[in-house]
Structure 1
């Protein structure tokens, strides 16, 4: 029987009823690393494995009350943030991070800056880009894909970064390999992964959450990025279908 306290990752993300992305993906990826997810649902969505039709943000005050109670009794060692749902929720989550950092100043925060679904559907009420501003201010690591990096004006040279670390993923490029670039004050480091055939639902959630879990377990940023990418690549290689269209990463029982 495990008697030591398992490190927890506070996860703020939307609920995808298809189970392929969002909070369920985060929980599975965090658990697979050996950490425990504390899920705060920021928004309810109407979507399947291919398209998002509606996003309904939850009450920001509810998120704050949930987080405050959890922080009083559980070892929160990292935070992972997906879609906030709207600007009010983004500001509330940023406030939650500042509250947690009053006790743990070096608390790592991983932001998956989801601006739209893979098909281009909006994932926030109002201006999704503006809603990210409060979260960029508190992020340790941002994990954008190429279109998101362009929207956030993040140059792949590592200049003028919005936070200490950025991992730009190359899944949207046309190269034979997927090239992911880690940008930081130390420079630029690249990883290359064989490009897998097909499209996947929840790959960004899987990657960001696994990295957050590795940081919660005490890995350095370099270790967390390496292991998180390796894990994500395996989940995509073993992805399964639940309906025609995008496949779901096999995050558990690999």
Structure 2
């Protein structure tokens, strides 16, 4: 028995609520296997980020290429890069993978700051994501992130509506001149790593071979269940239950 793999680039969150831990859980819940490459170490809990220490870009690239040489990569998921040097290294890896598989899906979660506004990159946060925008099959910003991005570079865009008010969250997918909306009941409370969970779930569905629209719908439904079954590890933000059923 084999499983499709998702090459994941993300930061290490010691709380286990976001970043690489969230991605591993969300990818596994879809029936795929995560190949985790850590882009940055962080000092944080489930509410605040205090420090970000990017890893060496050369080390990051060597890890990814070693995995790509041994495994068939079904999709790539990118979270925080840590800095621009790492973004450039990841871009080079993606281009190398695309030379062998031009249709390789790449999901980019362009995390510019934490939910509390804490920096998640050393230096300019936009510069730490810009080299990857044109390479991504799908970019998954929230509304504040979407307003800061260069939209014209994005092939596909899922703008999540969790930062709006009201009883309903509306997520909008823009791709090749068309737009589709999904609406979800707003859940009470705040959640740590919800964006990571959604983006990683989409990447997992794409690695299974699902078409984009189907992957988006199923990943959102999974994320909604994970948030509805969330749990607490302390005061503040709750942790999505990522072992929730994907169906």
What TM-score, normalized by structure 1, do the two folds share?
0.95
Q: Which runs of 4+ in 1 moved over 6 A?
A: none
1:232 aligns with 2:223: yes
Deviation at 1:153, TM superposition (A): 4.8
Q: Is the 8 A contact 2:15 2:46 kept in 1?
A: yes
Q: C-alpha deviations, 1:134-167, integer Å up to 9, x for none?
A: 111211100000000011154xxxxx3x222100
- Choose the corresponding residue for 1:16, options 10, 13, 17: 13
Deviation at 1:73, TM superposition (A): 1.2
- State the match for 2:136 in structure 1: 139
Q: Secondary structure at the match of 2:135?
A: coil
Distance 2:88 2:184 in 1: 35
Distance 1:132 1:73 in 2: 27
Q: Secondary structure at the match of 2:136?
A: coil
Structure 1, unpaired ranges of 5+: 155-159
Distance 1:101 1:253 in 2: 32
Distance 2:19 2:65 in 1: 22
Distance 2:150 2:7 in 1: 27
Distance 1:51 1:153 in 2: 27
- State the match for 2:166 in structure 1: 175
Distance 2:118 2:187 in 1: 23
Structure 2, unpaired ranges of 5+: none
Q: Secondary structure at the match of 1:10?
A: strand
- State the match for 2:37 in structure 1: 40
1:251 aligns with 2:242: yes
Aligned residues: 245
- State the match for 2:190 in structure 1: 199
- State the match for 1:107 in structure 2: 104
1:75 aligns with 2:72: yes
Q: C-alpha deviations, 1:99-140, integer Å up to 9, x for none?
A: 111111100000000000000000000000111111112111
Deviation at 1:43, TM superposition (A): 0.1
Deviation at 1:185, TM superposition (A): 1.0
Instruction: Give me the CA root mean square deviation.
Output: 0.9
- How do 1:156-167 residues align onto structure 2 when only pairs under 5 Å count? 160=152, 162-167=153-158
Q: Is the 8 A contact 2:83 2:127 kept in 1?
A: no
